[in-house]
Structure 1
Amino acid sequence: MRDWPELVRVIRGDRVESVHRGAVVIAGPGGPVEVWGAPGAVIYPRSSCKMIQALPLVEAGLESDPRRLALACASHQGARVHVETASAWLDELGLGEPDLRCGSHMPYSEDAAADLIRAGEAPGQLHNNCSGKHSGFLALSKHLGADPDYIEIDHPVQRAVREAFEEVTGAESPGWAIDGCSAPNFACRLDGLALAMAAFAASGGDVRGRAMVALRDAMMAHPVLVAGEGRACTDLMRAAPGVAVKTGAEAVFVAIVPAQKLGIAVKIADGATRAAEAVIAALLVRLGLLDPQSDVARRLTHGPIRNRRGLVTGHYEVVL
């Protein structure tokens, strides 16, 4: 990764203080159309691939509610709307919070976290940013009549996820690791991830194509369920209608662009989220999908960076 190109510079005063190196692939249905860095780099897509992980659920005809599909693709902030949507889904399945296997953490929403603290309550698994994905896993597991440990690598749910993942990325996964939510995360090439997003962008009328359209459209229709207020995914989808974007841990970011039948995959070498957000926003501007003067474009691609007193101390510079 040390030989990857600089994609983002952090400027303080008149000096470059930090640089973020990375790789980018923009792909169409036939393959890459623009590349920066190493398209063959093998990465863990982390949460950026949740729409792929949800394909078996939708292809089996188990869920069509756009709000639940958006939540299945989400890395949400645990706000009331996220918790209530996941809870209602589990109730309908005849299941509950203890059936989840994602673990608990404090909600990323400051308001939701403050509510828990005031009430003297601990967070539950519904607050986990991946509770929507896991609710989808539970729905598929119940349909398959499988055992409750749906996160095991040899479980029918994860076998179905891996099959779909390898088909849409165009290659056998070279390995897997455990994600932050305890589910397997399958590795792939960066250009394979971009190719998968292009498939979502240009999907056809077969079972998989309809599932891809349903998932991408759900994300675009309910951006607040995909992330939450003030989060980059939500802000970008609101500012660039007709585009679905999704972040992943360790600075992975993807975009689905149906109007141009393009998929985008970004990986920042040092795992800095700020750099991945800056690059994906700059790419949307480059493709004419995001107004460069919009608040979200300026904030993500330029800043400014402020200190605790609110003084401007620097800014970002995206290098493409």
Structure 2
Amino acid sequence: MTQAAPFAEIWRGPFLESVHKGHAVICDNTGQIVEAWGDPGRVILPRSSSKMIQALPLIESGAADARGLTTEQLALACASHNGAAIHTERVNVWMSDLGLSDDDFRCGPQEPDDRPARDALIRAHEEPCQVHNNCSGKHAGFLTLSQHLGGDAEYIDPNHPVQKACLEAFERTTGETSPGYGIDGCSAPNFACSLHGMARAMAHFAAAPDGSAEARLHQAMRLHPDLVAGEGRACTELMRAMDGKVALKTGAEGFFIAILPERKLGIAVKAACGTTRAAECAIAALLVRLGALDANHPATRKRLNAPILNRRNIETGTLRPASGLL
């Protein structure tokens, strides 16, 4: 098996202190590998990076149009949001339109990553709700699809029509038969594939014609980067830095994807150590390599050649991409 390739380096003064390694694939619209690092055939769980695929049945079934879902709602269906008011207020309205409440979610409560939202809960002596879960938009999409299909309340069950539709979309876009699934942090099944398969799926999205379900989803993400993640997050900041020309999505345990419609390319990145900073550094480096991202943009500099500060705000080192990625 091909070994993981160097992704990101941590330098402290003149010393190389540590190295993050991983696997990455750039794929074209024919499904072929353009460039690869590490092992393209590595079987992975794409985690939240697969949310666009999980949202495909929402549109393809006719459920999205029957409910008149907006581009904001489609972006939220693909989101791992911060639980800020801009996210929770929109998801709550969506749930109300479905005649449902927070109790109908199956994602579980989560403390918001958004500090104002978290502080507001503390001041009000309130506990986080399921709508604060970073996956609540995806689950609102699942519930919309479940209503359309006449499914029961347990929409996260792998045998539920919703999840069967997600598996069909996953295997169709990756071009592979999934070897199985793991249960994600939000309790829904997360289907496995090879890293090449995930990059192939993202290239499929990138090459999809206007009006298709795939195009509608990545267009919604690029139109509403603040809803896909939130302030301070790599997905949001890097999409803004590229003027909405590229869709980005992070996933837990060091996963990242990119959809480049103008180039009809897809990228999938997996940090072998599962570290977010390694995946963010790698995806930024590959986007710079492809000419899609300005290396000197402030959002890029936070991930490439980023200063490491100590508690006195003294620069003690840097996070740099491995030379093989640039």
Identify which of 259, 263, 274 aligns with 1:271: 274
Unaligned runs of 5+ in 1: none
Give the drift of 1:61.
Answer: 2.2
- The equivalent of 1:16 in structure 2 is 16
Name which of structure 1's ranges 13-22 and 258-267 shifts more when overlaid on structure 2. Answer: 13-22
TM-score (norm 1): 0.97
1:310 aligns with 2:304: no
Q: Secondary structure at the match of 2:198?
A: helix
1:87 aligns with 2:88: no
TM-score (norm 2): 0.96
- The equivalent of 1:155 in structure 2 is 160
Aligned amino acid, residue 28 of structure 1: D
Q: Secondary structure at the match of 2:39?
A: coil
CA RMSD of aligned residues (A): 1.1
Q: Secondary structure at the match of 1:304?
A: strand
Give the drift of 1:204.
Answer: 2.9
- The equivalent of 1:212 in structure 2 is 214
Cα contact 2:135–2:186 (8 A) shared by 1: yes
Cα contact 1:284–1:290 (8 A) shared by 2: yes
- The equivalent of 2:46 in structure 1 is 45
Give the drift of 1:2.
Answer: 9.0
Give the drift of 1:9.
Answer: 0.7
Task: Tell me, in whole angstroms, the C-alpha distance in 1 between the residues paired with 2:160 and 2:242.
Answer: 38
- The equivalent of 1:27 in structure 2 is 27
1:73 aligns with 2:107: no
Q: Secondary structure at the match of 1:19?
A: strand
Task: Tell me, in whole angstroms, the C-alpha distance in 2 between the residues paired with 1:24 and 1:86.
Answer: 33
Give the drift of 1:302.
Answer: 1.3
Aligned amino acid, residue 18 of structure 1: S
Cα contact 1:291–1:297 (8 A) shared by 2: yes
Deviation readout 1:156-212 (Å, 9 max, x if unpaired): 00000000000000010011010000000000000000000001100136xxx7100
In the TM superposition, 1:1-320 aligns within 5 A as: 3-30=3-30, 31-63=32-64, 64-204=69-209, 210-241=212-243, 242-319=245-322, 320=325
Task: Tell me, in whole angstroms, the C-alpha distance in 2 between the residues paired with 1:230 and 1:106.
Answer: 17
Deviation readout 1:260-302 (Å, 9 max, x if unpaired): 0000000000000001001111111111111111101111111
Aligned amino acid, residue 49 of structure 2: S
Give the drift of 1:47.
Answer: 0.1
Task: Tell me, in whole angstroms, the C-alpha distance in 1 between the residues paired with 2:189 and 2:294.
Answer: 37
Name which of structure 1's ranges 228-237 and 4-13 shifts more when overlaid on structure 2. Answer: 4-13
Segments of 4+ moved more than 4 angstroms: none
Cα contact 2:2–2:38 (8 A) shared by 1: no
Task: Tell me, in whole angstroms, the C-alpha distance in 2 between the residues paired with 1:130 and 1:318.
Answer: 30
Identity %: 57
Unaligned runs of 5+ in 2: none
Give the drift of 1:317.
Answer: 1.6
Cα contact 1:2–1:21 (8 A) shared by 2: no
Give the drift of 1:18.
Answer: 1.1
